[in-house]
Amino acid sequence: MQFRTILTSIGVLAALCHFPPAAAATTKPSPTDDVIVRMSEAFGKNNAKLLSELLPRAQGHVLTPWAAYWELRARLERASADEVTAFFKRYAGTYQEDRLRNDWLLLLGQRRDWSRYVLEAPNFRMNDDREVRCYTLAMEHSLTGVDMATEVKAQWLAQREADDGCLLAARLHHASGKLSDAVVWRKVRLALQARRNSAAHRALDIVAAQQGATLTELIARPERFLLQRTPGNTALTQELVLLALIQLANSDADRAAQLLQEHWQTQLSIEQLGWAWGSIGMQAAQQLSTRALPYFVQGSASAMNDEQLAWRARAALRQLNWREVHTAVQAMSEAQASQAIWVYWRARAMHTLASSEADKTQALQLWQSIASVRGFYEMLALEALGLAIAPPPQPEALTDSEKAAARNNPGLQRALAAIALGLRTEGVREWNYHTNLHAPGGMNDRELYAAADLACQHEVWDRCINTSERTRTFIDLAQRFPMPHRQAVLERSRAIGLDPAYVYGLIRQESRFITDARSGVGASGLMQVMPKTAKWTAQKIGMTGFKPQLLNDRDINIAIGTGYLKLVLDDFAGSMPLAAAAYNAGPSRPRNWRGQAGAPVLEAAIWAENVPFAETRDYVKKVLANTTIYAAMISGQTQSLKTRLGSIGPRTTSAPAPDTDLP
């Protein structure tokens, strides 16, 4: 069935991302707007004196709760408990109340002020700060001796940084015999594998405080440590050797493998060997080395952690070794194995290896469990089942009362007002808080749908998309994939021979259609173009008079961004996955990721899953999934993500020479 027919049948074609113009905020401009902006700037500079001076002038503004929060937060360390309690009462139910409670609990935890902490912790609604949760676990153990080791283990191992709260909870539970040495050593391994040396040192201090200097030595010179260390089977020696192997693998996986085989293969336990080979294999896999899978298979999959197993599966995919793909996914934790990515690849492995109809049926059932238009692998699962990528049924239209409830929500009003004043960070945080279930009353799917509609009407596209994406029982595809600036994008794209769906798919991922978006590295505008790249592209496309400050002009940004994307796409012979990777990570990296001469030609989904950079790997998949949806919406025809992905292999000698001038 044609996509247009489906859309018409559910009555949404006319609504494809055409929202009527609306004001940028829910309130009219206020004479105290400037005071709020000045207070925001003062808070950024930690100017507590100016904040206290300005606060009386901010009274009565819709953003007064923010002004009060900034003023008290700037002096929280010297504020009295009574002042904090008064703030909680005055702004009860607001995001600012819970935000300050989060800050206050962190401060009380650092002070080990459990008498006050125990009174305030139950009132913390967000409950999304791991360090606060760890302080709570530490507090409960300190005051009651209750065994919270299972959760402490989960929280601490998941915490990448060397924070005080989880370290305290782990230390207290270890001292009371509730947390084993093995868990602490696992934390040291994970920290070193993630190159978090400070976290490794602080964890090691729990079980082997006297070995701090040794850890410093093996981090600095792991190869020398491994060559000079006398083989032995003491638990301490084994763990230190494993740490040195992890550290060496971070810089030279092949050398780590050689030393492990020559000196330590018989000295480590099966569990330690599994971890060592997992670390070595992971680093080799991230270098796209053909030796990665042979390294992995020398260790037991059951002894490897989830990150290692993910790379074991990726290395197996790159070698088209479906049995090893299945082995790796089977060994993952339940939480990781249930993710759409691994459900999809496990089903692929089972279907490929199937020796009976029952095996194939099981694979089909796995695909059916994730098949939808919600994401990259969900869409590939649809195609694996032979189903079209088509919109789900349109949800029942919002009622006037549902729209009014969203429009009159004070938290959403504050969020829109903050965004309208240019306080996007505050606005986004406020919006997210009041559309999450931990907010007072929470939000069900219909309320989320109404909130997303409100954001769309006010052209706050990032909140429109993100809020709409969180409905679980239904999907409004047009709401999730809006098409603002439609005429400008379509005309410019078609004028230079670029698929407008690809442009929309990229913009949706880059900026969520925020025209003045600016990244931490300086990329600007809808298409998030770097100034240096913009200057180079302007020259290439013949744009005269270009200056970097023009990048936030919508039409100039679209012209520069589409011009650069077209140059990159042509350089990669029309491969959308390669061009998307190049747009995100620079052209030279995807060229290297294609592999050396003789490397296998891979379906692009496998190639994308093996991209070494997590950000770029996620980016490529999302851009291509977005593009497929937008192509269907623009053309009115059912689309194939798998066809759009194509295949990727090493550059052939007959291929045009790459444009090495591309920035």
* Domain extent listing, the chain: 33-111, 486-648
Helix (H) or strand (E) holding 4: helix 3-9
pLDDT higher than threshold 50 for residue 642: yes
Over residues 190-206, the pLDDT tens digits come to: 999 999 999 999 999 99
Question: Beta-carbon neighbour count of residue 544 at 10 Å?
Answer: 6
Mean pLDDT of 513-527: 90
Mean pLDDT of 93-110: 97
pLDDT on residue 229: 78
Q: Which of 71, 97, 239, 510 is catalytic?
A: 510
**277, two tokens:** 């080979």
Q: How confident is the model at residue 27 (pLDDT cuts 50, 70, 90)?
A: low
Measured CA to CA in angstroms, residue 622 lies from 40, 182, 319, 375, 525 at distances of 34, 38, 24, 7, 19
- Residue identified by tokens 């027919």 is 5
pLDDT higher than threshold 50 for residue 8: no
CB-CB contact of 388 with 1 (8 Å)? yes
Nearest-angstrom CA–CA distance, 40 and 423 = 8
Over residues 103-144, the pLDDT tens digits come to: 999 999 999 999 999 999 999 998 889 999 999 999 999 999
- Residue identified by tokens 């095996």 is 359
pLDDT on residue 437: 66
Q: What one-character-per-residue DSSP string does 54-108 give?
A: HGGGGTTSTTHHHHHHHHHHHTGGG--HHHHHHHHHHTTTSHHHHHHHHHHHHHH
pLDDT on residue 183: 97
Lowest mean pLDDT among 19-23, 279-283, 411-415, 589-593: 19-23
Q: Which fold has domain 486-648?
A: Lysozyme (1.10.530)
pLDDT on residue 28: 65
CB-CB contact of 527 with 562 (8 Å)? yes
Mean pLDDT, rounded, of the chain? 92
Beta bridge partners of 602: 648
CB-CB contact of 188 with 242 (8 Å)? no
Contacts of 276 (CB under 8 A, 6+ apart): 242, 245, 246, 249, 256, 260, 264, 268, 299
Sign of CA dihedral 357, 359, 363, 366: positive
Mean pLDDT of 588-606: 90
pLDDT on residue 162: 81
Overall pTM surpassing 0.85 (yes/no): yes
Mean pLDDT of 335-339: 98
Beta bridge partners of 648: 602
Residue 602: φ, ψ to 5°: -115, 150
Over residues 435-464, the pLDDT tens digits come to: 986 556 679 999 999 999 999 999 999 999
Over residues 34-55, the pLDDT tens digits come to: 999 999 999 999 999 999 999 9
Mean pLDDT of 80-90: 98
Mean pLDDT of 619-640: 95
- Residue identified by tokens 């061009």 is 579
pLDDT on residue 438: 59
Over residues 485-512, the pLDDT tens digits come to: 999 999 999 999 999 999 999 999 999 9
53 is catalytic: no
pLDDT on residue 251: 97
Q: Which residue has the higher pLDDT, 439 or 164?
A: 164
The radius of gyration computed from the CA coordinates of the chain, to the nearest angstrom, equals 27
Q: Which residue has the higher pLDDT, 661 or 510?
A: 510
pLDDT on residue 520: 81
Q: How confident is the model at residue 651 (pLDDT cuts 50, 70, 90)?
A: confident
Mean pLDDT of 242-257: 98
Nearest-angstrom CA–CA distance, 75 and 56 = 16
pLDDT on residue 17: 38
The answer for 241, left when phi > 0, alpha when psi is -120 to 50, beta otherwise, is: alpha
Amino acid at 142: S
pLDDT on residue 596: 74
Contacts of 96 (CB under 8 A, 6+ apart): 65, 66, 68, 69
Measured CA to CA in angstroms, residue 288 lies from 61, 150, 587 at distances of 56, 36, 17
CA distance from start to end of the chain: 43
Mean pLDDT of 218-223: 97
pLDDT on residue 151: 97
pLDDT higher than threshold 60 for residue 633: yes
